Amino acid sequence: MKDLVLYMTIGYPDENTFFRMLDMLDEEKVPVLELGIPVGNPFVDGDLIRQSHKKVLDSGIGQKKIIRWLQRIRRDYKFCIILMTYKEGMERFCLSELDKNLYDGILCVDEVIRADTGMRPVQIYNETMTEVQMLSLLAENKNFAYVMSGNGKTGSFSCLPDGYKRTVHFLKKNTNLPVYVGFGIKTLKDVNAVCSHGADGVIIGSHFMRIMSEKGYLECKKYINIINNYLQKTALQP
């Protein structure tokens, strides 16, 4: 089975719109939601996600609001919840203190969270890593392995890089965890490319957020439906 993972910044662009989008993700049976916890300097992210972080921070988000939203998400939806943030977000919102039943895992871009914390960390891999480095991260990895398609910021690629291929191949030989590829994935051609090179699914963030910001709910629904249908057909192929 090939999976679709979608990224959204928590509470963006506003609470009502955010939860309306989550309703749709649940209806479309998106299996995994990567939930961005905002920070002042999301240095791996491009302009669109940076702006979403700023907007949510300016709205006055705090740990109590994050907890309230996570409680609602956990109560109302079926998808797996992966928190994605930076060391700044971990400290600012005291994420290590959250009830671990409110989410399924956490990815911290600039700090390795250990598996023995009970936070079920997702680790991120890229083409510059040695095999020793990747094996070290795999020892601390739960849920799935996140492979960057290439070096760069989210939303910065005009076309899909191919630096991920060696990384995916190595991880598939060394773990039973699903291996998902993110960064620069927009089209069915991109989805087909990463899946044909062994990925178990795709992670789409900036492009989905752009559709949401510029075209709205119906276009988001159409886009998810197209990608999901394609992934299901791909999974059924011998």
Residues 73, 77, 82, 86, CA torsion sign:
negative
**Which ranges constitute the DSSP H helices of the chain?**
15-27, 47-58, 63-76, 87-92, 131-138, 164-174, 188-196, 206-214, 217-236
pLDDT, position 150: 76
Give which of 186, 190, 191, 188 is closest to 201, Cα–Cα. Answer: 191
pLDDT, position 224: 97
Across the chain, which distance is largest between two alpha carbons, in Å? 50
Write out the chain's pLDDT in tens, 238 residues: 799 999 999 999 999 999 999 999 999 999 999 999 999 999 988 899 999 999 999 999 999 999 999 999 999 999 999 999 999 999 999 999 999 999 999 999 999 999 999 999 999 999 999 999 999 999 999 999 999 997 755 544 556 778 899 999 999 999 999 999 999 899 999 999 999 999 999 999 999 999 999 999 999 999 999 999 999 876 545 4
> Are the C-beta atoms of 238 and 38 separated by less than 8 Å?
no
- Determine the 3-state secondary structure of 46 from DSSP: coil
Residue 164 vs residues 10, 37, 85, 167, 227: alpha-carbon distances, Å:
27, 25, 22, 5, 20
pLDDT, position 157: 56
pLDDT, position 18: 98
The domains found in the chain, sorted by start residue, are: 3-236 (3.20.20.70)
Confidence (pTM): 0.94
pLDDT, position 158: 56
Q: What does the alpha-carbon distance between residue 109 and residue 87 come to, in Å, rounded to a whole number?
A: 7
Query: Which tokens sit at 74?
Result: 């956990």
